[in-house]
């Protein structure tokens, strides 16, 4: 019974933890401009993150080594540092976006400008990182984040034409008012939102934090294989809500309140309250994960002591690094840059940086010195190789498309 | 870590005394994580210090084969990336005597706090982290 509860809890937190500000914004933007014609990308992204998270979780559980230790060992100091710099900057961008997301959600709830909420968000995130146990942090934000199911409920209440939604999803085509360049640019953004590298740093370091052993791998596989796809459905519900309400009205999403519009139309104030709760939990959880991920990547690269299972005094440089990252993120927000814009860029840059983390993990997952008999099976390697190609193509195509389309404008 | 495979008798050359474990310094030592006796990360390996004549010096007949005397670490990432060599005073030595094992990590037989290599960690702990309330408590 206790074991069953553990599995259920794991799945639920995986669903609630899947969606962050990147998924929220990108799915709503895409839904409001392209309908469900990019739904297939969410599917590709979810399968990818399942594969990738499983692999890095297995590497961490079997060898006890988290992603960035492996990256430095395999790539050496020079390429490793280049990788660290890129990953760290994108992580910082995501931290900024998530803190901005918390503040925007609180603005939606209170009417007080998000700028005034940023310091509160900063302090709250830091306090949790400083004092709260890893498992509690994960479970609470994951479970409360489940309130985002309100998007799925709203979709039903809106009584959409299911047939037309399904045909948009199953027969994808570029809408007449958008060019193929923007279509593919947003395809990459959506792919980056689903497969953000920080989730992998976080997942593998979390496996070390929670001291996974080989026998825990079954449960982690269930969490990932059920939780992430259900989280992907949540992403699709966000896109579908936007496709039903915003696309016909000609509103393309540029603010968080526009993301909420379909939910308000379907369920009124009550639905809005649930939505805000969900957005705060999801962005708060993701702010914790990204901040920790910045600490993890730095500490693992430089060989510092790290982990929330230690007292802050026993992982001093790790905690100092995270304080600096949070302050840097807030400094970026203090310039008045639009958090939604930061989010949109962060998901594309995530897609660009994906090969940097994906490839070393794939190599080590095949290295018997680390993995013993738990190296990748043949089937996994075939799928992993197909994804390597997809990830490389997305990464290479992203910048030219960004320039050609004016970042999807 | 793989043990050296036994070779056919005619191929065996006079073995160096320290034989037993075949390590590729590049592959098995460089950039490896170093953990202390309690499993606490200390640093990573940036270089090794070898015994014997310095590079370029003539090697007299009968000189012992060089062996690792210390693992080196420190703020030397700059020269590792852009080339060149810092003066040896820039390195922090971790004497080979305290190394307890080499696997996917290098494990030490002593506590991190007893090593020079952990000075920055201790400095940040004592000067910053321990001064913030809750810094010495377990997470709850």
Residue among A122, A72, A78, A128 nearest A96 (CA): A122
pLDDT of residue A65: 87
CB atoms within 10 A of CB B52: 13
- Using pLDDT thresholds of 50, 70 and 90, give the confidence band for residue B2: very low
pLDDT of residue B85: 86
The pLDDT tens digits for A255-282 are 999 999 999 999 999 999 999 999 999 9
Residue among B18, B26, B24 nearest B2 (CA): B24
Instruction: List the single residue in B41, B105, B128 with the smallest CB-CB distance to A305.
Output: B41
Q: What is the mean pLDDT of residues A316-324?
A: 97
Closest-CA distance, A7 to chain B, in angstroms, reads: 23
d(C-alpha A53, C-alpha A243), whole Å: 30
d(C-alpha A259, C-alpha A238), whole Å: 8
The pLDDT tens digits for A20-68 are 999 999 999 999 999 999 999 999 999 999 999 999 889 999 988 888 9
Q: Hey, which CATH number is domain B23-50+67-131, 2.70.70.10, 3.30.450.20, 2.30.30.240, 3.40.50.300?
A: 2.30.30.240
Chain B neighbours among A 343-402 (CB < 8 Å)? 369-370
Separation of first and last alpha carbons in chain A: 52
- Using pLDDT thresholds of 50, 70 and 90, give the confidence band for residue A395: very high
Q: So what's the ipTM on this one? A: 0.84
Alpha helices for A111-149 (secondary structure H): 114-131, 134-145
Mutate: best of B129, B130, B132, B138, partner A, most A CBs <10 A: B129
Per-domain residue ranges of chain B: 23-50+67-131
Q: At what angle do helices A39-63 and A162-170 cross, to 10 degrees?
A: 60
Mutate: best of A292, A305, A322, A326, partner B, most B CBs <10 A: A305
Structure tokens at A30: 């895409």
Q: Do B134 and A64 touch (CB under 8 A)?
A: no
The pLDDT tens digits for B73-89 are 988 888 888 888 888 88
Closest-CA distance, B60 to chain A, in angstroms, reads: 35
d(C-alpha A232, C-alpha A146), whole Å: 13
Residue among A136, A145, A126, A135 nearest A288 (CA): A126
d(C-alpha A77, C-alpha B24), whole Å: 17
The pLDDT tens digits for A126-162 are 999 999 999 899 889 989 999 999 999 999 999 999 9
Q: At what angle do helices A256-302 and A67-110 cross, to 10 degrees?
A: 150
CB atoms within 10 A of CB A268: 11
Q: What is the mean pLDDT of residues A232-245?
A: 96
CB contact at 8 A, A230 and A223: no
The pLDDT tens digits for A179-229 are 899 999 999 999 999 988 888 888 889 888 888 888 888 888 888 899 999
Residue in the structure block whose two tokens are 């899947």? A18
What is the CATH number assigned to the segment(s) A2-405? 1.20.1740.10
User: What's the length of chain B?
Assistant: 140
pTM for the structure as a whole: 0.91
pLDDT of residue B10: 61
Q: Taking CB atoms and an 8 Å cutoff, what residues of chain B touch A69?
A: 33
The H or E element that residue B70 is part of is strand B68-73
- Using pLDDT thresholds of 50, 70 and 90, give the confidence band for residue B47: very high
Q: What percent of chain A has pLDDT over 90?
A: 75
Q: Do A303 and B34 touch (CB under 8 A)?
A: yes
**Any CB–CB contact under 8 A between B92 and chain A?**
no
**Any CB–CB contact under 8 A between A132 and chain B?**
yes
Residue A241 has pLDDT above 60, yes or no: yes
Q: Taking CB atoms and an 8 Å cutoff, what residues of chain B touch A319?
A: 129, 135
Per-domain residue ranges of chain A: 2-405
Residues A319-352: b if buried by 16+ CB within 10 A, e if exposed: bbbbbebbeebbebbeeeeebbebbbebbbbbbb
The pLDDT tens digits for A331-384 are 999 999 999 999 999 999 999 999 988 998 999 899 998 898 999 999 999 999
CB atoms within 10 A of CB B14: 5
Chain centroid to CA B60? 28
Q: Taking CB atoms and an 8 Å cutoff, what residues of chain B touch A133?
A: 139-140
pLDDT of residue B16: 56
Q: Taking CB atoms and an 8 Å cutoff, what residues of chain B touch A77?
A: 31, 46, 77, 80-81
Closest-CA distance, B24 to chain A, in angstroms, reads: 13
pLDDT of residue B14: 59
pLDDT of residue B1: 44
Q: Taking CB atoms and an 8 Å cutoff, what residues of chain B touch A130?
A: 132, 134-135, 139
Separation of first and last alpha carbons in chain B: 38
CB contact at 8 A, B135 and A312: yes
d(C-alpha A242, C-alpha A165), whole Å: 11
d(C-alpha A188, C-alpha A41), whole Å: 8
- Max CA-CA distance within chain A? 58
SS3 state at A194: helix
Give the DSSP per-residue string, A33-101: HHTTTTHHHHHHHHHHHHHHHHHHHHHHHHH---HHHHHHHHHHHHHHHHHHHHHHHHHHHHHHHHHHH
Residue among A150, A408, A131, A174 nearest A266 (CA): A150
pLDDT of residue A201: 87
User: What's the length of chain A?
Assistant: 409
What is the phi-psi region of residue A59: left when phi exceeds 0, alpha when psi lies from -120 to 50, beta otherwise? alpha
Instruction: List the single residue in B42, B121, B139 with the smallest CB-CB distance to A316.
Output: B121
Q: Taking CB atoms and an 8 Å cutoff, what residues of chain A touch B40?
A: 305, 310, 314
């Amino acid at each position: 019974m206790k074991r069953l509860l553990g599995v259920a809890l794991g799945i639920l937190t995986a669903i609630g933890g899947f969606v962050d500000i990147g998924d929220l914004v990108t799915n709503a933007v895409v839904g409001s401009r392209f309908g469900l014609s990019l739904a297939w990308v969410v599917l590709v992204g979810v399968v990818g993150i399942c594969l990738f998270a499983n692999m890095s979780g297995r590497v961490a559980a079997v060898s006890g080594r988290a992603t960035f230790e492996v990256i430095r060992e395999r790539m050496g100091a020079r390429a490793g540092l280049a990788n660290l710099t890129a990953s760290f900057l994108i992580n910082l961008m995501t931290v900024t976006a998530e803190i901005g997301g918390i503040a925007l959600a609180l603005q939606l709830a209170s009417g007080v400008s998000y700028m005034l909420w940023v310091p509160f968000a900063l302090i709250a995130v830091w306090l949790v990182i400083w004092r709260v146990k890893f498992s509690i942090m994960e479970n609470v934000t994951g479970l409360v984040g489940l309130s985002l199911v309100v998007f799925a409920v709203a979709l039903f209440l809106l009584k959409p034409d299911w047939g037309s939604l399904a045909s948009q999803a199953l027969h994808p085509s570029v809408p007449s008012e958008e060019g193929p360049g923007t279509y593919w640019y947003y395809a990459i953004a959506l792919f980056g939102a689903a497969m953000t590298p920080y989730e992998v740093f976080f997942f593998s370091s979390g496996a070390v934090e929670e001291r996974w052993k080989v026998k825990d791998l079954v449960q982690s596989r269930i969490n990932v294989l059920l939780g992430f796809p259900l989280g992907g459905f949540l992403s699709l519900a966000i896109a579908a809500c936007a496709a039903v309400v915003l696309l016909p009205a000609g509103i393309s999403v540029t603010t968080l309140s526009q993301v909420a519009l379909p939910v308000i139309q379907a369920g009124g104030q009550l639905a809005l309250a649930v939505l805000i709760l969900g957005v705060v939990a999801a962005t708060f959880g993701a702010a914790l994960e990204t901040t920790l991920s910045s600490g993890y990547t730095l500490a693992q690269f430089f060989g510092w002591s790290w982990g929330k299972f230690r007292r802050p005094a026993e992982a001093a440089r790790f905690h100092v690094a995270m304080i600096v990252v949070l302050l840097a993120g807030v400094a970026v927000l203090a310039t008045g840059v639009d958090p939604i814009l930061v989010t949109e860029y962060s998901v594309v840059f995530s897609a660009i940086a994906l090969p940097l983390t994906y490839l070393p993990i794939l190599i080590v997952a095949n290295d018997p010195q680390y993995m013993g008999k738990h190296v990748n099976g043949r089937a996994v390697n075939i799928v992993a190789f197909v994804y390597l190609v997809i990830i490389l193509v997305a990464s290479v195509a992203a910048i030219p498309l960004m320039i050609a389309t004016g970042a999807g404008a | 870590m793989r043990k050296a495979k036994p070779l056919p008798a005619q191929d065996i050359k006079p073995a160096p005394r320290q034989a037993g474990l075949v390590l590729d310094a590049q592959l098995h030592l460089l950039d490896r994580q170093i953990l202390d006796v309690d499993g606490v990360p200390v640093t990573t390996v940036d270089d090794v210090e070898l015994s014997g004549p310095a590079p370029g010096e003539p090697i007299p007949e009968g000189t012992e084969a060089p062996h690792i005397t210390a693992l080196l670490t420190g703020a030397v990432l700059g020269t590792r990336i852009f080339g060149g060599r810092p003066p040896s005073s820039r390195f922090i030595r971790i004497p080979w005597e305290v190394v307890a094992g080499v696997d996917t990590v290098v494990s030490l037989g002593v506590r991190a706090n007893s090593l020079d290599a952990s000075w920055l960690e201790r400095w940040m702990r004592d000067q910053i982290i321990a001064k913030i309330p809750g810094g010495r408590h377990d997470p709850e």
